[in-house]
Amino acid sequence: MKALTIAVVGARGRLGAYAVTHYGRTEGLSVVLQVQRGDDLRAALLASKPAVMLDVTEAGLGALHARVALECGVRPLIGTSGVSPAQASELDTYAREQKLGGLIVPNFSLGMVLLQRAAEDIVQHMGQCEIIELHHERKKDAPSGTAADTARRLAAKRGDASPIPIHSVRLPGHYAHQEVLFGAPGETLRLRHDMSSPEAFGPGLVAAVRYCQTAVGVAVGLRHAL
């Protein structure tokens, strides 16, 4: 069987380096390109012609890199935060025009997908909620893309246009954590997800890249790959 060829953009970062290693030891997957800061992304993609591009670079660059990938005939898998709903919609339309597909993933953790599913069920019965997200001090964006995605999903399920508050913490000693707190008269309910290493992303990284291989249009969320 021919291996699925992958480009990793941001290969020197913590998640990028882990993805390169994890894909390299997964049967049927092959990393054929590692793109670093300062490299010409378009030229590199055209030269190596990977099937899928994983982008795990700086917050705010995901939409631009996804567009470049699609223009090069490469399917984008965007793990970089900061892709707005409007940008995701534009990418979806363009990908369908090109008969391509991809995926935008705010968080590759299976545990986070399960937390969001549970929270979406709960918010329909306990509508008052807030989100606390905690990360290491080196994380630049706040709130995190995962917290923002959770807030959007909960607001949609709640059917309320008012934003769900997000509280961001950036301190040494943390890795990646998220809590959703629900309150009602006389009771509270708390969902919490804790990560201690990028190994939590392994199954999601594999499921997502394989989904992109046959996807039509650009969807948002790891749940589409599960």
Q: Which of 22, 65, 125, 135 is catalytic?
A: 135
Is 193 labeled as catalytic in the residue annotation? no
| Integer Cα distance of 200 and 213 in angstroms | 22
DSSP state of 74: -
Strand partners, 52: 6, 75
Take residue 93 and report the two structure tokens written for it.
């339309």
Is 135 labeled as catalytic in the residue annotation? yes
Q: 3-state SS of 175-203? A: CEEEEEEEEECCEEEEEEEEECCHHHHHH
Q: What is the CA radius of gyration of the chain?
A: 18
Q: Which of 136, 139, 157, 167 is catalytic?
A: 139
Across the chain, which distance is largest between two alpha carbons, in Å?
62
Hey, which residues are catalytic here? 135, 139
